[in-house]
């Protein structure tokens, strides 16, 4: 995640386009480190959300409102006193740093026109919202920073405002006038190219430095000294072109997602993530709001499912060890037929064999009469040696028969657990986790307490609309898979599933019509995406009419059998389809 100076530059441009000269009609502080300003202007009404949260600082225009506490905090009251109904006259970003200044014109107690500045610093754990007068003196801040907390600067009422020099003489890239200047700077750095870029210029994150190197077609992790002057000049040109886009406000806000989870955002299209799902937006505010909301949902679901994941992972590890041991023991039983042959050969050729013989050499009539050397216990008679080998054969045979059944049961349990693990990866809400927990309880992985009441499941399958208008449903877990296949789907509906791996049942409602080829392709992509192999480039998907799908006796939820099917190979994808609910 890179809330860098370039994102801030994009945001400042957007704010100037939308809220410059707007009036502040309402000020609230819904959280201890968050402000919400309601603005009215010629372009309409807006809400500006500003957060100085140490882990997730952000600022964006939003349509969402937040409930404020009944008693406003001190900082909120100070702002209301000074700038309520004030007009925003200027919004700017000093250098290319993660700082935004908002000059606000207002009437003071005497009715005279005055000006104040709201300074938003979006700097990770050092983030703050600082309110200053026209002499650059701090009136108040949402976070007070004393000399005990920071030796670089105090952020307290009455203190002068300044930005601590922590940039170590970094250069503002917007002042650069040629690629040669960039070359002169980074060519002297004794580090990797990526580090040389982001440590030399303000507002440039490692993500953007990496993007510059990717566009230049070089390995940015390699040392500057390993490249020729021509290669470094090529990198400098790519960086200069990006700076030119910043100067001209040529931004392309986007979110990068991997398996539906947002992993990055930027004010520019990131070519280095071309293998991921990249969604472009017209507004950097929309990007920030969506990214933080989706990231919050994703993290919250991951946290809520952590206990369930631990239970499934532990059970998988235990069963995998048991299964491997069973397979090893099964391999050991492969010599059982050899012991049976030894017993028969001893019986056939024991006459004339001395009682204290240590071995028997005899032709094996089961193997083209090849001579086989059979070890004997000289303390036993030939007949007793024969019985001994037959006993070994019977023991291994019983072991083989028992282990064949046990290993099949263990493998079935592993497959069941893998399907639950896949369901946890697909889950998008707390309701989705309820059904998964019920399944774990039903199969004994979680003990149900007497006080636990079974919650009514609110989770529903995904519902997509194909490009040709057909309804496609995707089960989120094993219970939903069974429900879709054996209760919801009719005989002529089409059923899809990733071949040979855990995944969702996908149902296409045919309406007793012949489906276009594109519907099969899109349903196959959904089946591939909602499977264990969703990160693979290509996945084989089986499909057939629902009437040919059968439920095995005593089969676990979601497990089916079929004997005739079609197959297609697809790339996992959901971006082309519309999700209804």
pLDDT single digits (tens) 181-220? 999 999 999 999 999 999 999 999 999 999 999 999 999 9
CA distance 515 to 467: 12
Residue 288: count other Cβ atoms within 10 Å of its Cβ: 24
pLDDT at 325: 94
For residue 295, give both structure tokens: 């990231």
CA distance 302 to 309: 9
Question: Tokens 């296409």 — which residue?
Answer: 508
CA distance 513 to 70: 59
Residue 550, beta-bridge partner list: 561
Residue 392 contacts residue 377 (beta carbons within 8 Å): no
pLDDT at 320: 94
Residue 141 contacts residue 128 (beta carbons within 8 Å): yes
CA distance 318 to 379: 44
Among 470, 464, 528, 520, which residue's Cα sits nearest to residue 502?
Answer: 528
* ∠ CA 213-214-218, rounded to 5°: 65
Three-class DSSP category at 530: coil
Angstrom distances, CA of residue 269 to CA of 208, 214, 244, 495, 569: 10, 12, 15, 37, 30
CA distance 201 to 196: 9
**What digits encode the pLDDT tens for the residues 324-355?**
999 999 998 988 989 999 998 988 888 878 77
Among 352, 300, 321, 331, which residue's Cα sits nearest to residue 404?
Answer: 331
Which residues 6+ apart lie within 8 Å of 229 measured at CB? 183, 187
Which residues 6+ apart lie within 8 Å of 571 measured at CB? 525, 528, 537, 538, 539
pTM beyond cutoff 0.85? no
Query: Could you tell me the sign of the dihedral formed by the alpha carbons of 315, 320, 325, 329, in that order?
Result: positive
Residue ranges in the chain modelled with pLDDT below 50: none
| Residue 230: φ, ψ to 5° | -65, -40
Q: DSSP per residue over 11-30, as a string? A: HHHHHHHHTTT-EEEEEEEE
């Amino acid at each position: 995640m890179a809330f860098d100076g370039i994102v801030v530059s994009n945001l400042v441009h957007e704010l100037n386009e939308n809220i410059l000269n707007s009036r502040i009609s309402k000020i609230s502080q819904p959280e201890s480190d968050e402000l919400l300003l309601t603005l009215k202007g010629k372009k309409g009404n807006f809400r500006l959300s500003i957060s100085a949260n140490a882990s997730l600082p952000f600022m964006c225009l939003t349509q969402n409102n937040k409930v404020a506490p009944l008693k406003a905090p001190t900082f909120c009251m100070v702002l209301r006193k000074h700038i309520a109904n004030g007009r925003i006259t200027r919004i700017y970003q000093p250098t290319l740093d993660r700082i935004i200044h908002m000059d606000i014109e207002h009437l003071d107690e005497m009715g005279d026109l005055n000006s104040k500045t709201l300074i938003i610093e979006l700097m990770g754990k050092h983030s703050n919202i600082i309110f200053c007068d026209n002499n650059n003196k701090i009136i108040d801040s949402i976070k007070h920073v004393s000399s005990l907390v920071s030796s670089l600067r105090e952020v307290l009422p009455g203190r002068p405002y300044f930005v601590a020099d922590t940039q170590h003489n970094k250069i503002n890239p917007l002042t650069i006038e040629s690629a040669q200047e960039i070359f002169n700077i980074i060519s002297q750095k004794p580090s990797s190219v990526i580090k040389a870029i982001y440590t030399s210029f303000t507002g440039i994150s490692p993500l953007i430095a990496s993007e510059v190197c990717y566009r230049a077609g070089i390995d940015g992790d390699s040392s500057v000294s390993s490249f020729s002057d021509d290669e470094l000049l090529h990198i400098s040109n790519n960086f200069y072109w990006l700076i030119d886009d910043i100067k001209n406000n040529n931004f392309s806000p986007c979110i990068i997602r991997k398996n539906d989870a947002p992993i990055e955002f930027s004010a520019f299209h990131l070519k280095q993530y071309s293998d991921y799902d990249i969604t472009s937006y017209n507004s950097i505010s929309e990007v920030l709001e969506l990214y933080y909301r989706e990231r919050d949902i994703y993290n919250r679901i991951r946290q809520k499912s952590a206990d369930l994941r631990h239970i499934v992972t532990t059970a998988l590890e235990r069963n995998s060890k048991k299964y491997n041991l069973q397979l090893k023991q099964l391999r050991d039983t492969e010599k059982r037929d050899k012991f049976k042959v030894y017993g028969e050969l001893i019986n056939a050729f024991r006459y004339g064999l001395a009682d204290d013989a240590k071995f028997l050499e005899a032709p094996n009539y089961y193997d083209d009469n090849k001579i086989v050397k059979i070890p004997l216990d000289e303390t036993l008679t030939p007949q007793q040696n024969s019985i001994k080998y037959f006993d070994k054969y019977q023991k291994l045979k019983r072991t083989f028969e028992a282990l064949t059944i046990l290993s099949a049961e263990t493998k079935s349990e592993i497959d069941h657990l893998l399907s639950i693990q896949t369901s946890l990866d697909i889950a998008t809400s707390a309701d989705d986790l309820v059904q998964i927990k019920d399944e774990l309880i039903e199969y004994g992985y979680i003990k149900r307490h007497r006080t636990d009441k079974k919650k009514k499941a609110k989770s529903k399958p995904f519902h997509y609309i194909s490009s040709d208008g057909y309804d496609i449903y995707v089960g989120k877990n094993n219970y939903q898979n069974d429900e879709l296949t054996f209760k919801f789907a009719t005989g002529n509906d089409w059923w899809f599933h990733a071949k040979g791996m855990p995944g969702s049942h996908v149902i296409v409602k045919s309406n007793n019509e012949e489906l276009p080829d594109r519907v099969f392709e899109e349903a196959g992509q959904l089946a591939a995406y909602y499977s264990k192999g969703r990160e693979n480039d290509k996945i084989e998907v089986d499909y057939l009419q629902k009437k040919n799908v059968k439920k095995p006796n005593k089969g676990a939820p979601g497990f089916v059998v079929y004997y005739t099917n079609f197959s297609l190979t697809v790339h996992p994808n959901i971006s082309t389809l519309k999700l209804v609910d």
